[in-house]
Amino acid sequence: MEKSRPHIIIEGATEYSLGDFDGKHIAYDFSKVLVYLEAKGKLLFGRNFQIYDEDKEILLKLCNYMVRDFDNCKKFDIDPDKGILLSGPVGCGKTSLMRLIRHIVPHQRPYEIIPARNITFAFNHIGYKIIEEYGNGRFYCFDDLGVEPLGRHFGMDCNVMGEVLISRHELYQQTKIITHGTTNLNAEELEERYGKRVRSRMRQIFNLIGFDKSTRDKRT
């Protein structure tokens, strides 16, 4: 991306236009964004990557959120000042899309994608310092929320990601720093996993965007 042409992204020797730039604002063209995302997806995930027609509605919501298109966010009932919790069945492409869409806004601070299970494993070795670390002011997307094991450190059990989410909620209230996540679980299952207190806070920090439960496994 060039400062004078923020609507242009260069990958190798190829330029991709994401829309039109009037000197102050970018008017994004979703069809052009899709062309770029498919090309970038092949670079990130291999030449067999493709964007499926059935996923374009989800992508449209995610893209409007990322570029902060306030009119379309309102249309889709998305709060651009909250994070995204992307839900859907195993293998539907949640993690890939969250890895991919951050590239359409290279001028924004990127979020780091961390598997929730890795945070729990780190807690088992290091302890409560890990909860403080991931409750800090960095930008994260917690991958596969709700299926990580229970944490255990020096004989004490801990719902590690539940505690991290409470810390991220406090961070959001104080600084408006957002958190993203992906999950295979629905709202009821998340409440069963983390409890009503955490589920209530998740509603306050996340926009829930969900794949249809019948979405096929793209890894098979």
The DSSP result for 29-48, as a single string, is -HHHHHHHHHHHHHHHH-TT
| Residue 75: per-residue pLDDT | 96
Kindly tell me the burial class for residue 161, based on how many C-beta atoms sit within 10 Å of its own C-beta (0-12, 13-18, 19 or more). Answer: buried
| Residue 9: per-residue pLDDT | 95
**Over the stretch 43-99, which tens digit does the pLDDT of each residue have?**
999 999 999 999 999 999 999 999 999 999 999 999 999 999 999 999 899 999 999
Q: Which fold has domain 80-210?
A: Rossmann fold (3.40.50)
Contact 199, 75 (CB under 8 A): no
Which residues contact residue 158 at a Cβ distance below 8 angstroms, ignoring those fewer than 6 apart?
123, 128, 150, 151, 152
Type of residue numbered 117 = R
| Residue 24: per-residue pLDDT | 87
**Over the stretch 128-154, which tens digit does the pLDDT of each residue have?**
999 999 998 899 999 999 999 999 998
Give strand pairing partners of 8. Answer: 17
Model confidence at 107, pLDDT cuts 50, 70, 90, reads confident
Length of the chain: 220
Q: d(Cα 192, Cα 214) in Å, to the nearest integer?
A: 22
Token pair of 166, please? 């409470």
**Over the stretch 148-200, which tens digit does the pLDDT of each residue have?**
999 999 888 999 999 999 999 999 999 999 999 999 999 999 999 999 999 99
Cβ atoms within 10 Å of 134's Cβ, excluding its own: 23
**b/e code 81-119 from CB counts within 10 Å (16+ = b):** ebbbbbbbbeebbbbbbbbbbbbbbeeeeebebbbbbeb
Model confidence at 5, pLDDT cuts 50, 70, 90, reads confident
Q: d(Cα 206, Cα 2) in Å, to the nearest integer?
A: 31
Model confidence at 213, pLDDT cuts 50, 70, 90, reads confident
E strand map for the chain: 8-11, 14-17, 19-21, 26-28, 83-87, 112-115, 140-145, 151-153, 156-158, 179-183, 206-210
| Residue 167: per-residue pLDDT | 97
Would you list the DSSP string of 128-144?
THHHHHHTSSS-EEEEE
Strand 8-11 and strand 14-17: the pairing is antiparallel
| Residue 53: per-residue pLDDT | 93
DSSP 6: T
